[in-house]
Amino acid sequence: MTGKLIPVSICIYALMNCLTISALPAQDKGQTLDTTDMRNSYREEILMESFDTDTEDPDILEDLETLRRNPLDLNKVTFDELALIPFLNSMTARNILNYRSEIKKFKSKRELLKVKGMSAELYEKIKIYLIVRKSSSDVIIDETGLIYKSSQLKILDNITTRVRSRFMQDLQTKHGYLTDKYEGTKPKLYTGLKLKYGKAGSTLEINLTMEKDPGEKHLNDFTSGYFAAEKLFGFRKIIAGDYSLNFGQGLTLSGSGYFSKGIDAVSPLKRKGKGIKGYTSVSESQFFRGAAISYELGNFVTDLFYSDNYFDASIDAHSGNVSSFYNDGYHRTSSEIGRKKSVKEKFFGGRVSYSKGFLRSGITYWSGKFSIPVLKDTIKELYNFSGNKSESIGADYDVLVKNLNFFGEWTHSASGAVASINSVSFTFPGTAELIFSYRNYPYNFISVHSSGFGERSGETRNERGFYAGLTLKPFKGLTLNTYFDQYKFPYRSFLNPLPVSGNDFLINADWRAEKGFVINLKIKNEIKGDIVTVIDSIQRDVKLTDNRHQFNARLGFIYQLSDALRFRSRFEFVNVRYRESGNASKGSLFFSDMRLNPFPGLVFDMRIIFFDTENYDSRIYEYENDIKGVMSNTALYGKGKRWYAVLRYKPFRLFEISAKYSETYTDGVKFTGSGNDRIDGDINNRLNIGVEILF
């Protein structure tokens, strides 16, 4: 089957290459001063490729999409709102507000180029997140090529509704279905409804989300929703239902939804502090369920929150205590169903923050109690959370002085340990940004709702590290990002019975060689302590601590042939070796893709990937375009081919349908996956279909 499909797909690809540009609709350049083209989203694509985990539902994807859909009005935007924009540092955000104070009102987005520190490259990166309401000179081209002026966008004084539905299914049958271990059906289904009403500065919002994972029985296996109001009855914000909390630098209280180390060497270090936010993701363990309020009085903001939420967990048969938590949200087999909502956490807390000018500080406290105590692991994870009570109190700060930005957080946990992260960044407008950061998370720092910056995402414990990052723009069109991170895990953990250390170095270059042609070069080198299994002289399996050395080199090209036709290619090489054991593996990946917008309302994406790695240890991640609301970051290993095609059609502005077909062929294997997820044969293919209605 694959042997026929791949040549056919190559023929289609070649045929599309031959399409003439004259067939594409012409743009009337005389009627605009500036055009924001949502189709040219390669910057976000490259940024998302920083993730090295395979996931489909990161919060960051939803945040970026929400920001694109609801761009910030330059004549009303606040400093805190500007902080949500990727690539934009605090100093440039401050300069935007200062410039607005001078001119009183932006008439066009293009006026941003007059702001100190705003380069043409930075402007191209951030302009999709900003808007000037009622501007007669700004034109928006959406992701499918539909064109409208900013003045045609309605100010939020009426109802805005989004209805989204998705169908996703692996077409090959997994063993879990063949053996009746999975009690439900194969499709993954999602339905989401968001309703927003605004008038006189106040807004009301309702969100409802329902999801069923593959193998689950019920269409509403996971149901989430909330009601939120802003600037109502004197309150800054009110939320009832499901919500997330992100304050300071994440040491005291934070969930997911942040970039970590990657091609942007400076911005990800500073957490944006999103505060109280309605929960729209389908991750089933990273939210609170209850109520939260925010009240503003002068320069002070007070936040109060309460949650009474269930978690999936295994209960030890002998003690009746929790032996482990599960965050994957799967309820397919009898054992997975048995641990669903096994333990409840009652959670409450508050925060008082102060903001004046470009000084921000806050104190956050929370306390939680589980309905069933958690077992203490006295062998591998001596300082893991145990018992049924947990609490933390922390203080964070963010100070902007001229071209210096100092920020950080200190947190005290119930164990008595104090974790901290402190950073300083230097901005040289239009030329460079430099950041230094030191983190110290003691091995006995126990805080179940912390998620600070670090080597191990989400594990704010047992880590010390120093990070230095630099963004440099030596000349027009070239942006260099580089960082060095030295870290240590000073106490044994579940995976490492002895203390280990490591370092991580990256350099990334983006060169806009000419209009529409971008070259990307990324080199990453990491040395980290790891556990390997070797065979000793008497043929026994012995585990030892070894230094794992991984080197990645990536070269990519993006060629925007016209507004309606884009080509992209990437080659990546990886080499992994272990110093003591001598184990080694290497691999490579190459892909080429095309994006075609033959007429407004229709977009076609197609990519062909060839990969060849010696094992899973040398896997290479490949971020893909997908239907709305889905992040596809696939780990490819072994030797084979993969291809996919995405079609998005918007017959009119309020309705869009999208579909993706993907297929992976792995040479010389009898099956892929393992356990209940095993698929016999060398093909793994999937069909995704999405529908979205906006009105």
pLDDT value, residue 40: 66
- Which tokens in the block code for residue 405? 């930005």
Strand 130-131 to 72-73 pairing: parallel
pLDDT at 653: 79
Beta-bridge partners for 662: 644, 686
For residue 675, the tally of other CB atoms under 10 A from its CB is: 9
pLDDT, mean of residues 43-65: 69
Question: Per DSSP, which regions of 341-446 are E strands?
Answer: 343-356, 359-374, 387-401, 404-413, 418-428, 432-441
Four-CA torsion 124, 53, 248, 410, nearest 10 degrees: -140
**Which residues does 374 contact at the CB level (< 8 Å), separation at least 6?**
321, 322, 385, 386, 387, 388
Q: Please state whether beta strands 359-374 and 159-170 pair in parallel, antiparallel, or not at all (unpaired).
A: unpaired
- Phi/psi for 155 (5° steps) reads -70, 150
SS3 134: coil
Which top CATH class is 34-155?
Answer: mainly alpha
**Residue 15 host element (H or E):** helix 2-17
DSSP conformation class of 146: -
H or E stretch including 178?
A: helix 175-178
Chain center to CA of 672: 27
Q: Is residue 472 within 8 Å of 452, Cβ to Cβ?
A: no
Give, as one character, the DSSP assignment of residue 497: S
558-568 in b/e burial notation, b at 16+ Cβ within 10 A?
bbbbebbbbbb
List 305's β-bridge partners, or say none: 292, 349
Q: How is the chain split into domains, by residue range?
A: 34-155, 221-413
Residue 172 has pLDDT above 90, yes or no: yes
Cross-strand partners of 24:
none
Give me 59's structure tokens: 């919060």
**pLDDT tens, residue by residue, 356-395:** 888 999 999 999 999 999 887 644 555 678 888 999 999 9
Q: Pick the residue with more confidence: 421 or 199? A: 421
Give the list of residues 6+ apart from residue 681 with CB closer than 8 angstroms, or none.
Answer: 172, 670, 671, 672
Neighbours of 473 (CB within 10 A): 17
Residues in contact with 7: Cβ distance below 8 Å, sequence separation at least 6, in sequence order: none
395 closest CA partner among 248, 181, 228:
248
More confident residue, 555 or 123: 555
**CA atoms of 190 and 167, how far apart (whole Å):** 7
Give me the pLDDT at residue 27, please.
40
Q: What is the DSSP letter of 129?
A: G
pLDDT 10s digits, 533-542: 777 777 777 7
Q: How far apart are the C-alpha atoms of 504 and 99, rounded to whole Å? A: 39
**662 contact partners, CB below 8 Å, separation of at least 6:** 624, 632, 642, 643, 644, 685, 686, 688
Report whether 392 contacts 385 (CB < 8 A): no
Q: Which two tokens mark 353?
A: 């923050």
Q: Whole-angstrom Cα distance, residue 249 to residue 267?
A: 13
Percent of the chain with pLDDT over 70: 90
CB 556 within 8 Å of CB 569: yes
Q: For residues 97 and 1, which has the higher predicted lDDT (pLDDT)?
A: 97
Identify whether the C-beta of residue 609 lies closer than 8 Å to the C-beta of residue 640. Answer: no
Q: Who's near 317: CB < 8 A, 6+ residues apart? A: none
Mean pLDDT across the chain, nearest whole number?
86
pLDDT digits (tens, 9 = 90+) for 573-604: 999 999 888 889 999 999 999 999 999 999 99
The per-residue DSSP string of 371-397 comes to EEEEPP-SSS-TTS--EEEEEEEEEEE
DSSP structure class, residue 629: T
What's the pLDDT at 58?
Answer: 60
Q: What would the pLDDT profile of 271-310 be if each residue is shown by its tens digit?
A: 877 889 999 888 888 899 999 999 999 999 999 999 999 9
Confidence of residue 4 (pLDDT cuts 50, 70, 90): very low
Task: Average the pLDDT over 238-258 and give the result.
Answer: 89
State which of 24-38, 248-262, 390-404 shows the largest mean pLDDT.
Answer: 390-404
Interatomic CA distance for residues 395 and 410, integer angstroms: 5
Query: What is the bridge-based pairing of β-strands 632-636 and 584-599?
Result: unpaired
Cβ burial, residue 48 (10 Å; 0-12/13-18/19+) = buried
What's the confidence (pLDDT) of residue 5?
A: 41
pLDDT at 692 over 60: yes
Tell me the residue type at 311: F
The two tokens of residue 347 are 């959670």
**Integer Cα distance of 301 and 295 in angstroms:** 6
Total H helices, total E strands in the chain? 8, 35
358 half-sphere exposure, CB direction, 13 A CA radius: 21
- Of 78, 95, 72, residue with least CA distance to 400: 95
User: Is the per-residue pLDDT at 617 higher than 50?
Assistant: yes
Torsion angle defined by CA atoms of residues 64, 411, 93 and 628, in that order, rounded to the nearest 10 degrees: 0
Among 305, 261, 271, 272, which Cα is nearest to 287's? 305
Mean pLDDT within 254-265: 79
Confidence at residue 632, expressed as pLDDT on a 0 to 100 scale: 84
The pLDDT-based confidence of 120 (bands split at 50, 70, 90) is confident
CA distance 219 to 212: 5
Residue 161 tokens read as: 């509704």
